[in-house]
Amino acid sequence: MIRLTNVSRQYGRGEEATHALRSVSLDIPDGAFVKVVGTSGSGKTTLLNIIGGLDTEYSGTAEVAGRDLRDMADRELSRFRNLTVGFVFQHFHLLDHLDARQNVALAGFFSDGDVRQADERAEEVLVRVGLRDKLHQLPGRLSGGQKQRVAIARALFSRPRLVLADEPTGNLDTRTGGQVIGLFQSLSREDGLTVVAVTHEDQLFRQADLSVRLEDGRIVEAGRR
């Protein structure tokens, strides 16, 4: 369960301040497939960063699995990101000098497991996202859809309970975007993962369990399918 209570976030101070989120309260049940929609600058990415423990400079309370994220020290929060959360980014953020398997196994460097286990797990998740034959390809030789699949595999590496996807289809064509969304749906349905996907392409995420619309940092609409 993810619970946000009166969460606000502003960048800068005084007259220059920008309010990214204003008193946002939201409950997301475990295993839900959630889409967060809104125009650019509406606070979608900020919301995702706060849930994922990447941003702690907010007011209000953000709880994930019963833990207040701001109560966690840096080390604990890092462990939370490593084991509980998987991130998927619009620009993939794959490291160009590492092949697909090495990119996926990167999270393994920050866990307690050993390298061989990390490589095996990386192969397993790459197979799961349909990239069995691309294990040793460098990102430069992959298509946009394949890159995003590698990024999704990386997010799944640590067997997280929560996947946070920021505009996961933003750099993909409609057909490939649809395939990626299908992958998220199956992760949510079959593996019981909570998936929160931020998007401005409302139509692509018709199967979401919960839809949240943000405008100017406020939730203006939240409803179940």
Partner 1 sequence: MKTSNLRRLILQNLGRNKKNFIFSGIGIVAGISSFVFFVALGSGIKRVVATEIFPLDANRIQVVPAAAQFDAWIGGRTIDDEALSRLAALPGVAAVYPRMKLAVPATMALIGSEFPVEDLTKLAELPGMTPSMVEAVRKLQIWMEIMADGIDPRLVKGDAAFGVFADPPAGRPIPVLLSKRLVEIYNSSFAKTRSLPPISELLIPYVPSLPLTLNDSYIDRGIAGPKLSERIKIVGTSHQALLGGVTMPLDTVRRLNRFFGGEAAGRTYDMAVLEISSSDKLSAVQPAVRRLGFDIDTSQKRMAESVAFAVTLVTLGFTLLSLAMVAVAAVNIAHTFFMIIYERKREIGLMRALGASRRDIRSLILGEAGLVGATGGVLGIILGVGLCVLLNVLAGRLLPDFPFKPRQFFGYPAWLFAGGVVLAVVFCLAGAFSPARRAAKMDPSGTLSGR
Task: Write out the residues near partner 1 by the rule CB under 8 A.
Answer: 45-46, 49, 52, 54-55, 74-75, 78-79, 81-83, 87, 89, 93, 95, 97, 106-112, 114-115, 154, 158
Q: Are 6 and 24 contacting, i.e. CB atoms less than 8 angstroms apart?
A: yes
- Which ranges constitute the DSSP H helices of the chain? 44-51, 74-83, 100-105, 115-128, 144-156, 174-191
**What is the residue-wise DSSP string for 58-94?**
-EEEEEETTEEGGGS-HHHHHHHHHHTEEEE-TT---
Compare residues 45 and 209 and give the one whose CB is closer to partner 1.
Answer: 45
Q: Give the whole-angstrom CA distance, residue 126 versus residue 196.
A: 21
Compare residues 184 and 209 and give the one whose CB is closer to partner 1.
Answer: 184
Compare residues 115 and 127 and give the one whose CB is closer to partner 1.
Answer: 115
> What is the nearest approach in angstroms of partner 1 to the Cβ of residue 58?
11
Other CB atoms within 10 Å distance of the CB of residue 193: 22
Compare residues 16 and 112 and give the one whose CB is closer to partner 1.
Answer: 112
Pairing assessment for the beta strands 218-224 and 210-215 based on DSSP bridges: antiparallel
Q: Give the whole-angstrom CA distance, residue 59 versus residue 95.
A: 33
Compare residues 89 and 205 and give the one whose CB is closer to partner 1.
Answer: 89
> What is the nearest approach in angstroms of partner 1 to the Cβ of residue 165?
12
> What is the nearest approach in angstroms of partner 1 to the Cβ of residue 4?
16
Could you identify the residue written with the tokens 């619970």? Answer: 3
> What is the nearest approach in angstroms of partner 1 to the Cβ of residue 78?
4
Phi, psi of 73 (to 5 degrees): -75, 165
> What is the nearest approach in angstroms of partner 1 to the Cβ of residue 95?
6
